[in-house]
């Protein structure tokens, strides 16, 4: 049986103790570190950009998963390709030429991800699904941590899973927003491969144990 992958989101970490938080991730069972880049235009919040990603890349020993919530993400790809980023995800809604953008990400040596907002249907990916490594389904409206999970996301996971299987694509399904043990189990049952969790991991008493328990979620028989 395939293992659930867990990508903690740095957004909910203590930015006053960033090195300590990164060391926690390094010592944990997390599969990757999820990094949310926000520009205050595509989403109503600003986080960090290339200098912070470069700094994090020097300390993190896990792969980096960069979630770009910015307009015109093409501009960002070239300048970050030296940071050893494993997966770069752009929003479908932010790309006029998504096919070209995915080619650029791959040419820069990274896995390519496409994120969908809660209001964007899964069928928009039909003609590009074979070139996508990871589909990131947003289960909250992007911009902030700690929001409530949108239950309709479960239908989207099931529909996407079907599309992936029918097309023969190797894409993995990653979910971002409102993930906890309860929604995590529902998502894994629906067919998700990767769980992003921000406030649930960094806000917990024992983040190591929370990551461990999320990784142990397997589809109910
Ligand atoms: C929200 C970000 C998420 C965020 C999730 O726009 O993309 O990665 O950190 O936070 P939680 O897990 O608290 O919903
Ligand atoms: Zn994210």
Burial class (CB in 10 A: 0-12, 13-18, 19+), 30: buried
| Element counts in the chain: helices (H) and strands (E) | 8, 8
What pLDDT is attached to residue 47? Answer: 98
Please give the distance, rounded to the nearest whole angstrom, from the Cα atom of residue 196 to the centre of ligand 1.
7
Which residue CA neighbors atom 7 of ligand 1 most closely?
142
Q: Which ligand is nearest to the CA of 43?
A: 1
Render pLDDT for 3-40 as a digit per residue (tens, 0 to 9).
999 999 999 999 999 999 999 999 999 999 999 999 99
CB 115 within 8 A of CB 176: yes
Catalytic residue check, 127: no
Q: How far apart are CA 87 and CA 72, in angstroms?
A: 18
Q: How far apart are CA 164 and CA 193, in angstroms?
A: 12
**Of 140, 179, 211, 214, best ligand 1 pocket probe by most atoms within 8 Å of the beta carbon:** 140
Is it the case that residue 1 has pLDDT exceeding 80?
Answer: no
Render pLDDT for 188-201 as a digit per residue (tens, 0 to 9).
999 999 999 999 99
What pLDDT is attached to residue 173? Answer: 98
**Of 47, 115, 136, 145, best ligand 1 pocket probe by most atoms within 8 Å of the beta carbon:** 145
What pLDDT is attached to residue 2? Answer: 81
Mean pLDDT, the chain, rounded, equals 97
Is it the case that residue 221 has pLDDT exceeding 90?
Answer: no
Q: Which ligand is nearest to the CA of 13?
A: 1
The secondary structure element, H or E, covering residue 215 is: helix 207-215
Q: CB of 146 closer than 6 A to ligand 1?
A: yes
Non-local (6+) Cβ contacts of 23 within 8 A are 59
From the candidates 36, 39, 133, 193, give the one annotated as an active-site residue: 36
CB 190 within 8 A of CB 174: no
Phi, psi of 181 (to 5 degrees): -60, -40
Q: Kindly report the CA angle at 70 between 68 and 75, in degrees rounded to 5?
A: 90
Mean pLDDT computed over 170-181: 98
From the candidates 39, 133, 176, 193, give the one annotated as an active-site residue: 176
Q: How far apart are CA 5 and CA 78, in angstroms?
A: 28
Enumerate residues with CB within 5 Å of ligand 2 (an ion): 36, 67, 176
HSE, CB side, 13 Å, CA atoms: give it for residue 184.
24
Sheet holding 172-176, edge to edge: 5-8, 194-197, 172-176, 134-138, 111-116, 87-91, 64-69, 33-38
Torsion of CA 109, 113, 114, 118, to 10 degrees: -150
CB 115 within 8 A of CB 136: yes
Please give the distance, rounded to the nearest whole angstrom, from the Cα atom of residue 116 to the centre of ligand 2.
11
Catalytic residue check, 31: no
């Amino acid at each position: 049986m395939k293992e659930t992958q867990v990508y903690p989101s740095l957004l909910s970490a203590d930015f006053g103790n960033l090195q300590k938080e990164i060391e926690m991730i390094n010592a944990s069972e997390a599969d990757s570190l999820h990094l949310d880049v926000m520009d205050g235009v595509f989403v109503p919040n600003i986080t960090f950009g290339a200098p912070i990603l470069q700094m994090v890349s020097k300390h993190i020993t896990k792969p980096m998963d960069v979630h770009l919530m910015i307009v015109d993400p093409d501009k960002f790809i070239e300048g970050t390709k030296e940071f050893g980023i494993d997966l770069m995800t752009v929003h479908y809604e932010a790309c006029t030429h998504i096919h070209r953008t995915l080619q650029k990400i791959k040419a820069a040596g990274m896995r390519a991800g496409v994120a969908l907002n809660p209001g964007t249907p899964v069928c928009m990916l039909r003609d590009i699904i074979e070139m996508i490594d990871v589909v990131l389904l947003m289960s909250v409206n992007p911009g902030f941590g700690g929001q409530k999970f949108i239950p309709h996301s479960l239908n989207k996971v099931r529909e996407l899973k079907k599309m992936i299987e029918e097309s023969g694509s190797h894409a993995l399904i990653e979910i971002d927003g409102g993930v906890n043990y309860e929604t995590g189990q529902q998502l894994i049952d629906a067919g998700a491969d990767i769980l992003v969790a921000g406030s649930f991991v960094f806000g917990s008493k024992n983040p190591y144990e929370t990551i461990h328990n999320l990784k142990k979620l397997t589809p109910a028989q």
